[in-house]
Amino acid sequence: MKKLIVVVLVLLVVVACGGGGGSNTPTGPRDTLVFAASADATTLDPHNTTDTESDQVIMMLYETLIGFDRDMKIVPRLAERWDVAADGVTWTFHLRDGIRFHDGTPFDAEAVRRNFARVMDPVANHKRLVLFDMIDRVEAVDARTVRITTRYPFGAFEPTMAHVSAAIVNPAVAEKFGKDFGSAADRASGTGPYRIASWKKDQEIVLERHDDYWGEQGRTERIVYRPIPEAAARVLALEAGDVDVISRIPSADIARLEKEPGITVTKTPSVGMQQFRFNVTKKPYTDVRVRQAISYAIDRRAIVDNLVSSFARPSTGPLTPIMRGYANLGEIPHDPDKARALLKAAGYPDGFKTRIATTPRYPMGVELAEALAADLKKVGIEAAIDVIEWGTMVTYWAGLPPEKNPQEIFIMGAGASTADADWGLRPIFRSAPTNENNYGYYSNAEFDRVIEAAMRETDAEKRQQLYRRAQEIVYLEDPGAVWLFDTLYVVASRAAVEGVTPSPLGAVTFAHAVVR
Amino acid sequence: MHLLLQSFLRLVSVLFGISVLVFLIVHAIPGDPAVIAAGLEASPETVARIRRDLGLDQPLPVQFVRFVTRAVTGDLGTSIRTGVPVVSEIRERLPHTVILTLGGIGLAILLGLMAGMAAAITRRRWVDRVVMALTLVAVSTPSYWLALMGMLVFALQLALVPSIGVGTPLHYLLPIVVLGLQSGGQVARISRAALMETLHKEYVRAAEARGVGRWRVIGRHALGNALLPVVTLIGLRIGGLLAGTVLVESVFAIPGVGRMMVDAVIARDFPMVQGGVLVVATLIVVVNVLTDLVGAGLDPRVRAA
Amino acid sequence: MSESWRRLASDVPALLALAVVALFVGAALLADVVAPHDALAVDLASNYLPASRTHLLGTDHLGRDTFSRLLLGARVSLTIALVATLAGLLVGATLGLIAAWRRGAVDGTIMQAVDVLLSFPDMLLAIAVAAILGRGVMSTIVAVAIFSVPIFARLVRASAQSVVGADFVVASRAAGASATRILLRHVLPQCYAPLLAQGTITLGSAILFASGLSFLGLGVQPPDPEWGAMLSRGRELLRSSPLGAVAPGVAITLVVLSFSLLGDGLKDALDPRR
Read off the pLDDT of residues C220-239 as tens digits, 9 standing for 90 and up. 777 788 898 888 888 877 77
For residue A252, give the nearest of C62, C63, C241 by CB distance: C241
For residues C74 and C27, give the distance between their C-alpha atoms in angstroms, rounded to a whole number.
7
- DSSP H helical segments within B123-266, as ranges? 125-139, 143-150, 169-199, 202-209, 214-217, 223-251, 257-266
What distance, in Å, lies between the first and last C-alpha atoms of chain C?
A: 14
B15: CB partners within 8 A, 6+ apart: B278, B281, B282, B285
| Touching partners of B (3+ C-beta pairs < 8 Å) | A, C
Q: How far is B156 from chain C (nearest CA, A)?
A: 12
Q: Check residue A13 and give its pLDDT.
A: 42
Is A236's CB within 8 Å of B158's CB?
Answer: no
pLDDT (tens digit per residue) in A94-140: 999 999 999 999 999 999 999 999 988 887 767 777 788 899 999 99
Contact B29 C128 (CB under 8 A): yes
Q: What is the CA radius of gyration of chain B?
A: 24
CA distance A130 to chain B (A): 6
B36 and B184 together in one domain: no
Structure letter (DSSP) for residue A168: B
> Number of residue pairs across A and B with CB atoms under 8 Å?
147
CA distance A20 to A108: 55
Angstroms from B272 CA to nearest CA on chain C: 12
Least Cα separation, residue A297 to chain C (angstroms): 15
Are both B156 and B41 inside the same structural domain?
Answer: no
Rounded to whole angstroms, the maximal C-alpha distance in chain B is 85
Same-domain pairing of B39 and B126: no
DSSP B132-172: HHHHHHHHTS-HHHHHHHHIIIIIIIS--S-SS--SSHHHH
Nearest to A183 among B82, B114, B253 (CB): B82
- Comparing CA positions, the residue from B266, B263, B269 lying closest to residue B246 is B263
Q: What residues in A contact B268, CB-CB < 8 Å?
A: 391
Asked if residue B179 is part of any domain, the answer here is yes
Q: What CATH number is associated with residue B213?
A: 1.10.3720.10
Is B78 part of a structural domain of the chain? Answer: no
Helices marked H in C120-136: 122-133
As a whole number, mean pLDDT of residues A187-204 equals: 95
Residues B55 and B158 in one domain: no
- C-beta of residue A152 within 8 angstroms of C-beta of residue A456: yes
Q: Is B113 in the same domain as B148?
A: yes
Cβ-based interface (< 8 Å): residues of C facing A: 42, 44-45, 47-48, 61-63, 130-131, 134-135, 217-218, 221-223, 235-241
Residue in chain A lying closest to B93 (CA): A201
Please tell me whether residues B62 and B189 are part of one structural domain: no
Between A81 and B47, where is the model more confident?
Answer: A81
Neighbours of chain C (3+ CB pairs under 8 A): A, B
Determine the residue of chain B that is closest to A38 in CA distance: B253
C240 φ, ψ (degrees, to nearest 5): -90, -35
Cα separations in angstroms, A125 against A47, A74, B10, B103 = 10, 28, 44, 45
Closest CA to C212 of B147, A465, A204, A176: B147
Query: Which segments of A330-420 does DSSP mark as H helices, in order?
Result: 336-345, 365-377, 390-393
Regarding whether B115 and B63 lie in a shared domain, the answer is: no
Residues B235-284 pLDDT 10s? 777 777 776 788 889 889 899 998 898 888 888 888 899 999 899 888 88
**Beta-carbon separation of A302 and C217 below 8 A:** no
Distance CA C181, CA C187 (A): 9
Given this model, what pLDDT does residue B300 score? 57
When CB atoms are compared, the residue of B17, B30, B145 closest to C113 is: B17
Query: In this structure, is residue B155 part of a structural domain?
Result: yes
**Nearest Cα residue in chain B from C125:** B25
User: A40, A42, A53, A243: best mutation site toward chain B, by most B Cβ within 10 Å?
Assistant: A42
Residue-level pLDDT at B12:
87
Q: How many domains does chain B have?
A: 2
For A120-170, where are the alpha helices, taking DSSP H only? Answer: 157-162
Interface of A with B in 306-345 (CB under 8 A): none
Distance between CA C149 and CA C144 in Å, rounded? 9
Buried b / exposed e over A242-271, threshold 16 CB at 10 Å, is bbbbbbbbbbbbbebbeeeeebbbbbbbbb
Out of B25, B140, B242, whose CB is closest to C128?
Answer: B25
**Assigned domain for B88 exists:** no
The 10s digit of each residue's pLDDT in A432-476 is 888 878 999 999 999 999 999 998 888 889 999 999 999 999 999
Among A41-50, A240-249, A396-405, name the most confident range.
Answer: A240-249
Indicate which of A248, A306, A407 best probes the interface with C, i.e. most C CBs within 10 Å of its own CB: A306
- A387: nearest CA partner in chain C: C221
Are B25 and B137 found together in one domain? no
When pLDDT is cut at 50, 70 and 90, the band that residue A511 belongs to is very high
Residues of chain C found within 8 Å of residue B249, distances taken between Cβ atoms: none
Q: How far apart are CA A69 and CA A23, in angstroms?
A: 38
User: Which helix or strand (DSSP H or E) is residue B96 part of?
Assistant: helix B86-122
By the CB < 8 Å criterion, does B216 face chain C? no
Which chain B positions have a beta carbon within 8 Å of C12's beta carbon? 129
Distances from the Cα of A235 to the Cαs of A47, A205, A243, B147, in angstroms? 32, 20, 9, 14
Q: Domain range holding B51? A: 15-72
Residue B126 lies in a domain: yes
A499 backbone φψ class: left, alpha, beta (φ>0; ψ -120 to 50): left
Same domain, B68 and B102: no
Mean pLDDT, chain A, as a whole number?
90
Backbone angles phi, psi at A499, to 5 degrees: 80, 20
The three-state DSSP-derived secondary structure of A52-109 is HHHHHHHHHHCECCEEECCCCCEEECCEEEEEECCCCCEEEEEECCCCECCCCCECCH
Closest CA to A250 of A8, A38, A409: A38
Going by pLDDT thresholds of 50, 70 and 90, the confidence category of residue B305 is very low
Residues B109 and B249 grouped into a single domain: yes
CB atoms within 10 A of CB A496: 15
A403 pLDDT exceeds 60?
A: yes
* 3-class DSSP assignment, residue A506: coil
Nearest to B89 among A36, A49, A201 (CB): A201
pLDDT of B84 strictly over 60: yes
Q: Cβ C264–B132 below 8 Å, yes or no? A: yes
Identity of the residue numbered B115: A
Q: Are residues B122 and B179 in the same domain?
A: yes
d(CA C204, CA A132): 56
- Say if the Cβ atoms of A203 and B53 lie within 8 Å: no
Contacts of A29 (CB under 8 A, 6+ apart): A219, A220, A514, A515, A516
Name the B residues in 265-294 with CB < 8 Å from any C CB: 265-266, 273, 276-277, 280-281, 284-285, 288
Give the ranges where A274-432 is alpha helix by DSSP (H). Answer: 288-297, 300-302, 336-345, 365-377, 390-393, 421-429
Q: Kindly identify which residue of chain B lies nearest to residue C218, measuring between CA atoms.
A: B266
CA-based end-to-end distance of chain A = 50
Kindly identify which residue of chain A lies nearest to residue B41, measuring between CA atoms. A437
Beta carbons of B247 and C253 less than 8 Å apart: no
Contact B253 A229 (CB under 8 A): yes
Q: CA–CA separation, C269 vs C274, rounded Å? A: 8
Name the DSSP class of C49: P
Rounded to 5 degrees, what angle do the CA atoms A361, B240, C260 make?
100
| Residue range A348-375, pLDDT digits in tens | 999 999 999 998 888 889 999 999 999 9
Instruction: DSSP letter for A305, please.
Output: I
Domain contains B66: yes
Whether residue B196 sits in one domain with residue B158:
yes
Within 13 A of B291's CA, how many CA atoms are on the CB side?
A: 19
Residue B259 lies in a domain: yes
Inspect the interface and report whether the beta carbons of A392 and B44 lie closer than 8 Å. Answer: no
ipTM of predicted assembly, 2 dp: 0.82
Chain B stretch 208-247, residues whose beta carbon is closer than 8 A to a beta carbon of chain A: none
Rounded Cα distance between A427 and A418, Å, is 13
* Interface with chain C: mutation pick from B14, B94, B149, B163, highest number of C CBs within 10 Å: B14
* Chain C residues with CB-CB distance to B247 below 8 A: 123, 212, 215-216
Cα–Cα distance for residue pair B74/C3, rounded to 1 Å: 59
- DSSP state, residue B74: T
- Portion of chain A with pLDDT greater than 90, in percent: 72
- Is residue B292 over pLDDT 70? yes
Q: Is the dihedral of CA B183, B184, B185, B187 positive or negative?
A: positive
Chain mean pLDDT for chain C:
85
DSSP state string for B268-303: T-HHHHHHHHHHHHHHHHHHHHHHHHHHHHH-HHHH
Distance CA A336, CA B30 (A): 38
Residue A12 pLDDT exceeds 60 = no
- Cβ under 8 Å to B: A residues 174-233: 179-180, 183-184, 200-204, 226-230, 232-233
| Structural domains of chain C, with CATH | 2-28+65-270 (1.10.3720.10)
B162 chain-A contacts, CB cut-off 8 A: 240, 242
Bigger pLDDT: B74 vs B4 = B74
Residue B84 lies in a domain: no
A181 or C224, greater pLDDT: A181
- Rounded Cα distance between A179 and A159, Å, is 26
* Domain final residue, candidates B37, B72, B107: B72
Strands A409-414, A263-278: parallel, antiparallel or unpaired by DSSP?
Answer: antiparallel
CB contact under 8 A, C231 and B142: yes
